[in-house]
Amino acid sequence: MNAAEIVDLCRSYSLFEWGTQEVNPLAIDRGEGCYLYTVDGRQILDFNSIAMNVNIGHGDQRITEAVAHQMSKVSFVSPFMVTEVRAEVAKKLAEITPNGLTKSFFTLSGSDANEAAIRTARLVTGRRKILSRYRSYHGSTHQVLALGGDPRREPVEGGMGDIVRIPDPYHYRCPWITDEKEFCEFNLDQIEQIVRLEGAHTIAAVIVEPVTGSNGLIVPPDGWLSGLRALCDRHGILLICDEVMTGFGRTGEWFAVDHDGVTPDIMTVAKGITSGYVPLGACIVSDDIAEAVHDRPLGSGLTYQSHPVGLAAASATIPIYESDNLIERSKKMGGYLLEGLQDLASRHVSVGDVRGRGLFTALELVYDQDSRLELFPLTGPSSQADQDMRKLFDTEGLSCALRGPFLFANPPLVVDHSQIDWALTIFDRALDIADSETASAGASAPPHSE
């Protein structure tokens, strides 16, 4: 089939996620390292690791071999049976995650890992409320169990419910407190007041992405995560860290919590655990929680839980972070990328802020530097400039994520200097387009400004 036929059949017979069906997808034939190759022969630089998950890069045959080997023996067993790959990966996760996190509940994705985390937190604390941040994303499935009539719906009856939002440690959007430490204390104090007003005895857990991903790559101030850990301890609230996007070297450490030396009670992972080669996630719990659920029914399970093929992919992927020195590389190349982005920021009026940790970086685009009004809205119709920037990326063969005002740069951890340099030249041209939409270029304020 040629590219047009593939696209046509996929449009006719399959549905695309999230948005409308007015899509013009790339037909991909193969991938290698940081590059994807389309069916009609174009080379695309993947500067977002697809969904910030293909950390080890595309086409690594070590994973193919491990998966094929597992499939040649057995492709599927019941989650109540065990396999060597399950044993290996569970032990390895206990070794590389912070001390005190020991037992993994293997899922298919980040969403169901977070569902398991929330249900486990409610089960062991006997409390209902979950605190989560406004700027956060933890997956897309939660309501489905409540939807079915099966009695197993009971733990989630009425949908998710009992969510209380807390403010984000987003210093750029709190410019009246200039000192970072002061801002950190202010934010933690606000959270503590919410805990008191809600009643700590009603709160099961706080869930956070240690570095917020798709909602703006918000790196919290130094000391924020350890402050949150202490706050949770003071009130007997569990801390759940969602490392689905930040885990496996993305931020220059195995996990983002390692930057602060924090051990959450529950940590969820997915994406980088297999680098997307086969779906897999995990909800990893502390010794205390493992003990608490030892003789209490867990109340969660899926047919494909602890899938041997996903685990085979993970058992081959995780050692690659070590053997190929990818975590160190993320730190080093991330520093280089961040410098390049800072240079762009110094030359483009549309760049309000540059944030990053390891190869997890983004620019925040603003209408003008003083008001910090976002240049493109996160929801609603896209502007001409937004469309023109996307068109430029497409024409040049750069795959990257522009989501509202956030332009992300999150290449696979195998990225090299020349690939970063080239991508930044395209960003430079894209930012010329963004600049033309700003107040200093005389543009009228964006439609979402009222």
Ligand X SMILES: Cc1ncc(COP(=O)(O)O)c(C=O)c1O
Closest separation in Å from C-beta 193 to ligand X = 26
Which of residues 213 and 352 has its CB atom nearest to ligand X in the complex?
213
Q: Is 408 in the site for ligand X (CB under 6 A)?
A: no
Is the CB of residue 374 less than 8 Å from the CB of residue 353?
A: no
Which of residues 311 and 434 has its CB atom nearest to ligand X in the complex?
311
Closest separation in Å from C-beta 137 to ligand X = 5
The CA distance from 311 to 104, in Å, is 12
Is the CB of residue 219 less than 8 Å from the CB of residue 135?
A: no
Pick out residues in 261-280 that bind ligand X (CB under 6 A).
Answer: 270
Which of residues 232 and 244 has its CB atom nearest to ligand X in the complex?
244
Mark the segment that binds ligand X (CB under 6 A) among 154-162, 240-248, 258-266, 345-353.
240-248
Closest separation in Å from C-beta 133 to ligand X = 11
Pick out residues in 353-372 that bind ligand X (CB under 6 A).
Answer: none
**What sign does the CA torsion over 404, 405, 410, 415 have?**
positive
Which of residues 305 and 438 has its CB atom nearest to ligand X in the complex?
305
Which of residues 18 and 80 has its CB atom nearest to ligand X in the complex?
18
- Distance (Å) of CA 227 to CA 126, 222, 224, 241, 261: 24, 9, 5, 14, 11
The CA distance from 211 to 225, in Å, is 10
Q: Position 80: which residue type?
A: F
Which of residues 141 and 263 has its CB atom nearest to ligand X in the complex?
141
CB proximity list for 20: less than 8 A, separation 6 or greater: none
What is the number of the residue whose Cβ is closest to ligand X? 110
Q: Are β-strands 43-46 and 406-409 bridged in parallel, bridged antiparallel, or unpaired?
A: unpaired
Q: Is 214 in the site for ligand X (CB under 6 A)?
A: yes
Mark the segment that binds ligand X (CB under 6 A) among 167-175, 208-216, 404-412, 418-426.
208-216
Which of residues 246 and 438 has its CB atom nearest to ligand X in the complex?
246
Which of residues 114 and 419 has its CB atom nearest to ligand X in the complex?
114
The CA distance from 48 to 423, in Å, is 11
- Angle of helix 308-323 relative to helix 84-96, nearest 10 degrees, comes to 40
Is the CB of residue 186 less than 8 Å from the CB of residue 167?
A: no
Residues binding ligand X: what is the number (CB under 6 A)?
Answer: 14
Q: Is 213 in the site for ligand X (CB under 6 A)?
A: yes
Q: Is 244 in the site for ligand X (CB under 6 A)?
A: yes
Which of residues 205 and 439 has its CB atom nearest to ligand X in the complex?
205
Determine the straight-line distance between the first and last CA of the chain, rounded to whole angstroms.
49
The CA distance from 365 to 259, in Å, is 27
Mark the segment that binds ligand X (CB under 6 A) among 119-127, 188-196, 238-246, 354-362.
238-246
Which of residues 282 and 424 has its CB atom nearest to ligand X in the complex?
282
- Distance (Å) of CA 183 to CA 170, 174, 180, 217, 303: 9, 8, 5, 18, 46
Closest separation in Å from C-beta 271 to ligand X = 6
Pick out residues in 102-161 that bind ligand X (CB under 6 A).
Answer: 109-111, 114, 137-139
The CA distance from 72 to 419, in Å, is 37
Q: Is 241 in the site for ligand X (CB under 6 A)?
A: no
- Angle of helix 308-323 relative to helix 326-347, nearest 10 degrees, comes to 70
Closest separation in Å from C-beta 107 to ligand X = 9
Work out which of 56, 241, 245, 409 binds ligand X, going by CB under 6 A.
Answer: 245
Mark the segment that binds ligand X (CB under 6 A) among 55-63, 196-204, 237-245, 311-319.
237-245
Closest separation in Å from C-beta 115 to ligand X = 9
Mark the segment that binds ligand X (CB under 6 A) among 209-217, 225-233, 399-407, 426-434.
209-217
Q: Is 242 in the site for ligand X (CB under 6 A)?
A: yes
Interacting residues with ligand X (CB under 6 A) = 109-111, 114, 137-139, 209, 213-214, 242, 244-245, 270
